[in-house]
Chains A and B, each alone.
Chain A
Amino acid sequence: MEKKDFEIKQGIKAHLIKTDLFKTNMISCLITVPLTHENVTKNALIVSMLRRGTANFHTQLDLSRELENLYGAAFECGIDKYGDNQILRFYADSIDDKFALTDEEILKNTIRILLDIICNPLLENGKFKEEYLKVEKENLSKIIKSKKDDKDLYAYETCISKMYGENGFGLYKYGYLEDLETINVDNLTEHYQNLIQNSKIDIFVSGDFDEETVKQAIINDENIQRLRPRIENYILNNEYTECKQTVENVNEIIEETDVTQGKLVIGMNVNSNVDKVQFKTLLYNVILGSGANSLLFQNVREKESLAYSIKSIYVKQKANIFIRAGIEIPNFEKAVNLIKEQLEIMKKGEFSDEDLASAKEFVKSGIAAIETEQDTGIIYYIGQEISKTNVSVDEYRKIMEEITREDIIEIANNIQINTIYFLKNET
């Protein structure tokens, strides 16, 4: 695998990842902007408006059929939350030209369509189509309302918003119903023009292609040519920006809804900016709660049968660890106490050398996936781009090897519970 980056214009970059392990070429195009209450709903809506049609392919039907003719090129778009940023993500993958049944330029055409979707929307009198907006507003309102359907996710999102409030990372990535009502074709079109001409844009292409051909295809694309240079405007999150205040009182919140199983989320802060803190915390988190060997899985699920699912997730952009568990409702206190015991075990360093070694193997396996899974590779390099870091896969492995038990204990002693959130049945 080989990666080359080049700037197409100021604020617009292409990242070409050459690999011959896959049958497909994958393209991911991202627009990164700060998460704000004012814009979060509009941005979510823009993504759905763009996929409705372009000046060249007027309807979704035209687009779908065009993609099918490219051997079922897959197209997806979505909204991600990445620290305090919102990412508008557009993605396509198609089989490599060499597998075509006749002589066809699949990759070039896939790139062309993807850029057309992002940069060249169907406008009527210079504005988004009224009837499309009506449907998409209705759809987005349903997505926002459906937040409560997936109870695990709902509990997780609610815990985050309790910790951060209506700010940056605390916002719901799809936005808010009250803001949706105020959006019309005028203000949304204006917002879009501003977004497309002033935001950071990154285009990632991964596959077995001729670099120069792809580079030229992007540079010479009509839509890319119309974009102006811009100054990147987004929020950099790292260990220095995210070092937290000490928690005085743990915030404990219990909410009720219609569930059979209780959903527990514990949000914790990592208050440290020691050298390589993100790598050390990653390893800490694996020992604590990733996979079948972790303390949480072993002691809460296997030994006490208190949970079916239990895991911890490290959100490095915000220096938080979230423990998520599905537990029997009456076992709430018992489970919380047992989880706290595991945090103490980590602080005292009462985990074994095997625990540390196997956690390193677990992480190494994830590192390998950067090269052996096409989407994992792209996601890794997106993270590098947005956090302005440049750690190669080999360096990543080396850093992991060098982390010691003392490093983990130091991290453990700088981790504090911020919020305990429990979603239970109605009484």
Chain B
Amino acid sequence: MQVIQNSKIQEKIYTEKLTNGLKVIIIPKKTQKKYIIWGVKYGSIDHKFMVDNREITVPDGIAHYMEHKLFEQENGTNSLDVLSSMGVDANAYTTNNHTAYLFEDNNGKFFEALDEFMNYVQNPYFTDENVEKERGIIEQEIMMYDDYPDWKVYMNAIKAMYHNNPINIDVAGTKETIAEITKDKLYDAYHAFYRPDNMAIVACGDFEPQEIISEIEKRMTLQNATQNVKRIYEEEPQEIVKSRMEAEMNISMPIFTLGYKDEIACENQIKKDLALDIIFNILIGDSSELYQSLYEQGLLQAEPTFIYENSETYSHILIQGQSEKYDEVIQKIEDKIEELKQKGIEDEVFERIKKKLYGEYVKSYNDVASLATTFIQNYFRNINPLDYFEEFKGLDKEYTMQILKQAFAKDKKVVSIVKSK
């Protein structure tokens, strides 16, 4: 077991690789809560892969469908219900690049719930009948997303950037693609990706590290498959698809997204995350002159949202906001980016924003659920969150300027708008 300590924020973190290759990270906290999350590096983008010499293409939305179906048990029960009836808060989610199963215990039922939890993730039970039953529910979920303007403006920005990368399809798939999902296809995907060396577990809360690690190990039955699995991604050109996408919905104020398709290769991911965070704050954060002046003019009512997503096959930056005069706002943000590239960043501003980020970092250790989720997400981005503090201390203006110049390239820019009908 490896132990890492950060005495400044008074936290210790323990990591262990189990005999079957699964990585476990423990963050003990003084609280009554116990939170565990089990992540699988399998998301909506993994729809084409090789198992030994067999090429398999699965329908869009299958990773998400699997997340729903894994709760189903052979004895007719549903593990989500079983866990809920113990009073633990259980859930699961699917993203572009990973799926996660989790629960939180506040009532001293953790180990009882852990039996059920580890049992269902390791024992899929798909039948024609139970697969069929889920279709209606997922169709409703897809329709619910169709009514969200935020989702529309995001997906259109992604579609404007990516030619081939499957990030340009909805995580849940479409009504048509999920119609093709069968139990055999679910089993194919399960066996290919639900392997210990493709997973990680993070436990955060009232834990004794050695004890929880052996409790997990005791319940572990998954073995690494002997077959060789390789993901297939079509080559993605560096160029964008088109520079602008527009849609109309019944909303009172238009929503815009300004996006930049970014280089995938990155030497130091934490450092880049930090630099981008600083850039966003300086550019259009609530202490920026640009945001204040747009607010004064009534062009923005709230600070835009900043999103940076990346994996081994995609990388992009999105700035999303709401404005009647979206084109004017976008133009001003672009002008400001160019101005910053020319003039550089002031020392006072850089240090102040760094101080803010440090505060946010300390705060992130407050909540066991979001802390564990961040650890899982970062694990699949090959980030070791424990390096954060060192990288933070070393972050300088020069590197930040270098990222600014590289990541906000004019020819990689897309704009997505959802207008009012």
Contacts and interface: CB of A to CB of B under 8 A. Distances in A.
A372 B292 contact: no
A292 B137 CA distance: 14
Contacts of B367: 373
A305 B78 CA distance: 15
Contacts of B143: 260-261, 308, 326, 328
Given A292-B80, A305-B133, A23 B358 contact: no
B141 A135 contact: no
B409 interface: no
B359 A151 contact: no
A145 interface: yes
A142 interface: yes
B301 interface: yes
B90 interface: yes
Contact of B106 (A61, A326, A368): A368
Interface stretch (B19-27, B160-168, B349-357): B349-357
B363 interface: yes
B89 A60 contact: no
B80 to A, nearest CB: 5
A361 B87 CA distance: 4
A59 B358 contact: no
A364 interface: yes
A48 B249 CA distance: 28
B81 interface: yes
Nearest to B298: A138
A149 B252 contact: yes
B295 interface: yes
B359 A95 contact: yes
Given A23-B363, A258-B421, A354 B85 contact: yes
Contact of B252 (A99, A145, A302, A308): A145
A254 interface: no
Contact of B31 (A21, A305, A326): A21
B289 A308 contact: no
A259 B249 CA distance: 10
A324 B36 CA distance: 30
B87 A259 contact: no
A69 interface: yes
Contacts of B8: 99
Contact of B362 (A23, A143, A365, A368): A23
B144 A261 contact: yes
B365 interface: yes
A24 B366 contact: yes
Contacts of A372: 31-33, 106
B225 to A, nearest CB: 31
B252 to A, nearest CB: 4
B129 to A, nearest CB: 13
Q: Interface residues of A toward B: which range? A: 35 or more
A141 B381 CA distance: 42
A401 B250 CA distance: 48
B296 interface: yes
Contacts of B362: 23-24, 71, 95, 99
B353 A357 contact: no
A374 interface: yes
A25 B143 CA distance: 41
A364 B362 CA distance: 29
A305 B136 contact: yes
Contacts of B289: 61
| Interface size class, chain B | 35 or more
Contacts of B406: none
B84 interface: yes
B287 A65 contact: yes
B30 interface: yes
B186 to A, nearest CB: 18
Contact of B147 (A261, A305, A374): A261
A274 interface: no
Contact of B137 (A65, A305, A364): A305
Contacts of B250: 148, 257-258
Nearest to B135: A305
A102 B81 CA distance: 49
B222 interface: no
A56 interface: no
Contact of B355 (A68, A143, A365): A68
A40 to B, nearest CB: 20
A139 interface: yes
Contacts of A357: 85
A94 interface: yes
A259 B355 CA distance: 44
B251 interface: yes
Nearest to A98: B10
Contacts of B301: 139, 142-143
B352 A69 contact: yes
Contacts of B32: 368, 371-372
Most chain B CB inside 10 Å of its own CB: which residue of A59, A68, A69, A357:
A68
A117 interface: no
B325 interface: no
Nearest to A68: B356
B147 A259 contact: yes
A365 B292 contact: no
Given A23-B362, A60-B295, 15 more contacts: A20-B30, A24-B362, A61-B289, A64-B286, A68-B352, A70-B359, A71-B355, A72-B360, A95-B362, A101-B355, A302-B78, A354-B85, A361-B86, A361-B87, A365-B89
29 contacts: A21-B31, A22-B366, A23-B366, A24-B362, A61-B292, A64-B286, A68-B287, A68-B356, A69-B355, A72-B356, A93-B363, A95-B362, A142-B252, A258-B249, A258-B250, A291-B84, A298-B81, A302-B78, A305-B134, A305-B136, A306-B136, A308-B140, A326-B143, A358-B86, A364-B106, A364-B107, A365-B89, A372-B33, A372-B106
Interface of B: 8-9, 30-33, 78, 80-81, 84-90, 105-107, 109, 133-138, 140-141, 143-144, 146-147, 149, 249-253, 286-287, 289, 292, 295-296, 298, 301, 352-353, 355-360, 362-363, 365-367, 421
